[in-house]
């Protein structure tokens, strides 16, 4: 099974470890044995202008996943919304009302589906590829999340080279290591069976450190200074 999925993650943090805004949306192509990505593409946000209360992430993720899917023609697309794997093209208002999710979740999906449902329907008609709301059940979504952390670190290093310092909150229970010419990201949850990712970068001179976020257990903080 060849899966394209997408996720958004990595947050610029202030000195009290509170998020200022999210950094990277990433789409990945995941193939057997489903432990890392074969391909990845990233789109950066401006974390200083990010609306953390908004619902932009899932739309951005869908657009980026479609961009990658058009190129690599996967069997299926996995989005980071845990609706039991339902096809997005089937999410009309009565179907959303029948979902076993919170009222708030329904309100969000009534809004989101206005754009995403016709988009998914058209994409499916043209290509036969389904877009599923599978969320945390999907290993591919988790791999996209790990890559979002890696690309956020890549962005952070560039930022620190210019501004002197950066503090980034990584996605849940993952860590990164930096060695000559690449950033390696790894799940800290052995139950996931060894998920990881790797992205290349130019060699630079900087110091970095990774440690637990004191106010968000199981989340790590990455800091770099030039």
Instruction: Give the nearer residue to a copy of itself in terms of CB position, either 155 or 219.
Output: 219
Subset of 85-124 contacting a copy of itself (CB under 8 A): 85
DSSP calls for 89-136? GG--HHHHHHSSS-HHHHHHHHHHHHHHHHHHHHHHHHH--EEEE-GG
Determine which residue in the list 95, 127, 175, 226 makes contact with a copy of itself, applying CB under 8 A. Answer: 175
Window contacting a copy of itself (CB under 8 A); options: 51-59, 109-117, 161-169, 192-200: 192-200
* Displacement of CA 43 from its chain's centroid (Å): 10
Subset of 11-70 contacting a copy of itself (CB under 8 A): 16-17, 30, 32-35
Structure tokens at 61: 């993720």
- The shares of helix, strand and coil residues in the chain, as percent rounded to the nearest 5, are 40, 30, 30
CB of 93 to a copy of itself, least distance (A): 27
Determine which residue in the list 189, 196, 198, 225 makes contact with a copy of itself, applying CB under 8 A. Answer: 189
**Among 165, 183, 167, 186, which residue's Cα sits nearest to residue 175?**
186
| Residues sharing a CB contact under 8 Å with residue 18, sequence separation 6 or more, in sequence order | none
72 binds a copy of itself (CB under 8 A): no
Site residues, a copy of itself (CB under 8 A): 1, 3, 16-17, 30, 32-35, 85, 134, 136-140, 142, 172-173, 175, 188-195, 209, 211-218, 220
């Amino acid at each position: 099974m060849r899966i394209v999925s997408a996720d958004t993650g990595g947050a610029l943090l202030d000195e009290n470890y509170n998020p200022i805004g999210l950094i990277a949306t990433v789409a990945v192509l995941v193939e057997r044995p489903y432990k890392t990505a074969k391909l990845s593409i990233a789109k950066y946000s401006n974390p200083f202008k990010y609306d953390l209360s908004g619902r932009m992430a899932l739309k951005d993720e869908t657009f980026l996943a479609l961009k990658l899917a058009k190129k690599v023609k996967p069997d299926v697309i996995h989005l980071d919304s845990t609706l039991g794997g339902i096809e997005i093209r089937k999410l009309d208002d009565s179907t959303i009302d029948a979902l076993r999710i919170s009222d708030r979740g329904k309100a969000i999906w009534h809004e989101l589906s206005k754009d995403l449902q016709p988009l998914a329907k058209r994409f499916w008609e043209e290509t036969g590829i389904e877009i599923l709301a599978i969320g945390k059940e999907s290993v591919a979504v988790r791999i996209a999340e790990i890559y979002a952390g890696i690309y956020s670190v890549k962005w952070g290093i560039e930022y620190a080279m210019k501004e002197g310092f950066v503090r980034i909150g990584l996605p849940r229970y993952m860590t990164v290591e930096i060695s000559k010419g690449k950033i390696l990201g790894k799940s800290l949850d052995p139950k996931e069976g060894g998920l990881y990712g790797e992205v290349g970068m130019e060699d630079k001179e900087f110091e970095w450190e990774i440690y637990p976020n004191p106010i968000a257990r199981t989340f790590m903080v990455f800091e770099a200074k030039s």
